Amino acid sequence: MRRIEAVLRKHWGYATLRPLQREAMESVLSGRDSLVVLPTGGGKSLCFQAPALVLPGLAVVVSPLLSLMKDQVDALRECGVAAARLDSSQTPDEQDDVIDAVTRRDLKILYVSPERLMMNGFARFLRQQAVSLVAVDEAHCVSMWGHDFRPEYRQLGLLRDAFPGVALHAYTATATQQVRDDIVAQLKLAQPRVLVGSFDRSNLIYSVERRTDVVEQVREVLDRHQGESAIVYCIRRADVDSLADKLVAAGYKAAAYHAGLPDEARKRAQDAFIREEVEVIVATVAFGMGIDKSNVRAVIHAGMPKSLEHYQQESGRAGRDGLDAECVLLFGSGDVSVWRYIIEQSESEEGKAIAHQKLADVAAYASGVVCRHRAILKYFGQELAGESCNACDVCFGDLELVDDALVLAQKIVSCVYRLEERYGGDYTASVLTGSRDERVLGNGHERLSTYGLLEDYSKKLVRDWIEQLAGQGVLGKDGEYAVLKITEKGRRVLRGKETPRLLKPAAPRDKADARGVAADSWDGVDRGLFDTLRVLRRRIADEKKVPTYIVFHDAALRDMARRRPSSPEGFREVTGVGEAKARQYADVFVAAIVEACETRGLERDVDPTLKPAPKPQTARGRKAQKPTVDLARQMAYGRFDRGESVAQVADAVGKPVDRVLEYLLAYLREKKLATPEPWVEASLFERIREIVARVGMARPISILRELDGAATFDEIQIAIACIQSGE
């Protein structure tokens, strides 16, 4: 393990390990089979990559997707690791080069597809190359109980015979106990060490909303993450195309991705998203498993996912760098019916029962009122520590329960009974709210005793309550038209033996305050410098034709903009900077940092251990703190009145520059100042105003690009605040 620690520092720039990584690496080093389940972003790839560099011989990694293999290999090479892949997308010459490298023993890690590994004679060839370990990535694909079951993965059970005496290791981010047992059985793991990390991703902020206006709801979330990467998932291809078109028309840099598009169109969209030429990808579930993008700040489901495994996996693509990210599920009344139809058309007879049960579980989650983190953990057989996660809509208090839920539920179930269980939710809500609709009157249902029982409530709210009761199993749905049926649980509700939970609309509140990106993860970070470094990172990535996160993750850029190193030695102290990256990038990044610090009067070579603010916290830790009176803001306002700069005020009040910038933006809006001097020069303000007139102010990052280095992100924010004040 001492050698492992040296390898981690040298190649990845890491000084510490995450939970269970040490135990997983020890299993590899000792040659004992293992099954490792770590959440997305938990560092499971490192569990076999780092030991592979210490052990003699070649590590063989089985991976299901070509794009995933390419990203992993590119990232390893960028860190100075001798790695390669062998797949069908390569030319014969490229494949021959890889085979030659394996034969010469020049490689430490080789990525292959399951089909390639099981190809006649290939496993025999690898046995001659002193294989040190075999790792099966995305191992849940082995199990038919897994959410991404792939029949070709079943043949991996032959690995035990193909590589006698070589330890097998399975890795996945999502697996219930049933799936874990199936993986062990299918891969024939011999007394494996099973390591299961917490499925809780405390940096993810979960919320569920009733879908009303999908475009506006999606835009609301995207606008909280301007200039940042986001994924929007839809159930159907037509929904993907429609939503992507509307977002593009509204000025967002968005692209569509689904299996119905030509291969080249999908590749263009994926590459543009990875290179950050496109900020929003709108996709079906066909998009994602091969994406290793760490800085996705929002994942929005415009429709309910197929299962909680899918949701945990898809939402888990947000915040893989450990920084806060937002996961929003927009839930509509027709989602369950759509998935039922898809299941009936696409699943085998054996798989239908499994799929329908998983669908019921995710519907209960969407309509439930239990802490979102707690509900997901419970599904995977784990418990949440503490009473509140402080990182979901339930714990934020966005949701309020009605006081008389039992009486309301009894009225709704009674109406279903009076309607002889022959109608769907929309019609039932019309009857309950006393609708004078021609169909209701024509059926004579205005004479029912339940007609108008809930006339004091809107039809939309009653319709939502019906869906909540269905999600909790009080009502069932039958057939193509989702006709409401009373379940056994519903009969207990009628008798007053069981009380369901119903939500009332939450009072209006500032969602940006509850669900915005964590301010604490920005403490000590100069945002203008961060944006400068992002532009530099993108230029380097474009030149090398690799994704931006392979150059550096956002977390590394934030640490650079916090520490502001002025020498290669200081640059090596940045989180995520190993020897290979220091050799490649120290000079160019340090030069950019020094120039920015000189231009803006920023302190260089900051030691974050001496600062009280920069310790990153998750949304959970942040929300657990009680608010206090902000005396620093009051002091800052007085100094703004005297025209002091942000840096001067930050020094005076003892707050980070980014926090004082927030004070200034609030000051400008409250004072309704239409000109930003002395904080932004008049000539620059006019240039920004001209660009805003053309592209709008909803996307500051677009304005930054248009100015091409003539302004900082901070100056643009200040200018926008004044433009808004003058409107």
Distance CA 50, CA 36 (A): 15
Q: Which residues pair with 256 in a beta bridge?
A: 282
Is the per-residue pLDDT at 257 higher than 70? Answer: yes
Beta strands (DSSP E) in 346-416 are 400-401
Query: What value, to the nearest 5°, has the Cα angle with vertex 91 and ends 85 and 94?
Result: 50
CB atoms within 10 A of CB 429: 26
Residues 565-596 as b or e (16 or more Cβ within 10 Å = b): bbeeebbbbbbbbbebbbeebbeebbebbbeb
CATH number of 2-196: 3.40.50.300
Distance CA 433, CA 444 (A): 15
Helix (H, G, I), strand (E, B) or coil at 329: strand
Query: What value, to the nearest 5°, has the Cα angle with vertex 304 and ends 301 and 308?
Result: 100
Fold adopted by 204-398? Rossmann fold (3.40.50)
pLDDT band at 383 (very low <50, low <70, confident <90, very high): confident
Percent pLDDT > 70 in the chain is 90
CB atoms within 10 A of CB 419: 20
pLDDT band at 505 (very low <50, low <70, confident <90, very high): low
pLDDT band at 519 (very low <50, low <70, confident <90, very high): very low
What is the per-residue pLDDT across 698-714, written as a single tens digit (0 to 9) for each?
A: 666 678 778 877 888 78
Q: Which pLDDT score is estimated for 514?
A: 38
What is the per-residue pLDDT across 108-133, written as a single tens digit (0 to 9) for each?
A: 999 998 888 877 788 889 988 889 99
Strands 254-257 and 280-283, by their bridges, are parallel
Dihedral over Cα of 381, 382, 387, 393: its sign: negative
Distance CA 554, CA 534 (A): 8
Average pLDDT over residues 247-251: 92
Distance CA 405, CA 104 (A): 72
Three-state SS string over 604-641 comes to CCCCHHHCCCCCCCCHHHHHCCCCCCCHHHHHHHHHHH
Distance CA 450, CA 407 (A): 13
Structure tokens at 354: 């499994």
What is the per-residue pLDDT across 534-546, written as a single tens digit (0 to 9) for each?
A: 889 988 988 888 7
Q: Which pLDDT score is estimated for 516?
A: 39
Fold match between 2-196 and 204-398?
A: yes
Residues 183-213 as b or e (16 or more Cβ within 10 Å = b): bbebbebeebbbbbbbbbbbbbbbbbbbbee
Helix (H, G, I), strand (E, B) or coil at 300: strand
Query: In one letter, which amino acid is 600?
Result: R
Average pLDDT over residues 56-64: 91
Please name which of 110, 109, 108 lies closest in space to residue 95, comparing C-alpha atoms: 110
Helix (H, G, I), strand (E, B) or coil at 85: strand
Please name which of 588, 591, 586, 594 lies closest in space to residue 568, comparing C-alpha atoms: 586
Average pLDDT over residues 651-664: 75
Strands 475-478 and 483-486, by their bridges, are antiparallel
Is the per-residue pLDDT at 484 higher than 80? Answer: yes
Percent pLDDT > 90 in the chain is 34
Structural domain boundaries in the chain: 2-196, 204-398, 401-504, 525-610
What is the per-residue pLDDT across 486-501, written as a single tens digit (0 to 9) for each?
A: 999 999 999 999 888 8
Is the per-residue pLDDT at 624 higher than 80? Answer: no
* DSSP result, 194-246: EEE-----TTEEEEEEE-SSHHHHHHHHHHTTTTSEEEEE-SSHHHHHHHHHH
Mean pLDDT of the chain: 84
Is the per-residue pLDDT at 529 higher than 70? Answer: yes
The larger pLDDT score, comparing residue 44 to residue 635, is at 44
CATH top-level class for 525-610?
mainly alpha
The larger pLDDT score, comparing residue 1 to residue 146, is at 1
What is the per-residue pLDDT across 74-87, written as a single tens digit (0 to 9) for each?
A: 889 988 999 999 98
Q: Provide the whole-model pTM.
A: 0.60
What is the per-residue pLDDT across 660-710, written as a single tens digit (0 to 9) for each?
A: 887 888 888 888 888 888 899 888 989 988 888 887 776 666 787 788 778
DSSP state of 644: -
Is the per-residue pLDDT at 45 higher than 60? Answer: yes
Distance CA 711, CA 716 (A): 7
Is the per-residue pLDDT at 625 higher than 70? Answer: no
Q: How far is C-alpha 378 from the chain's CA centre?
A: 20
* DSSP result, 514-572: HHSPPSGGGTT--HHHHHHHHHHHHHHHHHHTS-HHHH--HHHHHHHHHH---SHHHHT
Phi, psi of 172 (to 5 degrees): -155, 160
The larger pLDDT score, comparing residue 386 to residue 483, is at 483
- Residues in CB range of 430: below 8 A, 6 or more apart: 437, 439, 440, 459
Lowest mean pLDDT among 41-45, 563-567, 683-687: 41-45
CB-CB contact of 711 with 688 (8 Å) = yes
Say how many CA atoms lie within 13 Å of 443 toward its Cβ: 18
Distance CA 717, CA 548 (A): 24
Q: How far is C-alpha 586 from the chain's CA centre?
A: 30
- Determine if the peptide bond prior to 505 is cis (ω within 30°): no
Q: Which pLDDT score is estimated for 617?
A: 45
* DSSP result, 457-498: S-HHHHHHHHHHHHHTTSEEEETTTTEEEE-HHHHHHHTTS-
What is the per-residue pLDDT across 454-463, written as a single tens digit (0 to 9) for each?
A: 998 989 889 8
Structure tokens at 369: 């009122």
CATH number of 401-504: 1.10.10.10
CB-CB contact of 158 with 172 (8 Å) = no
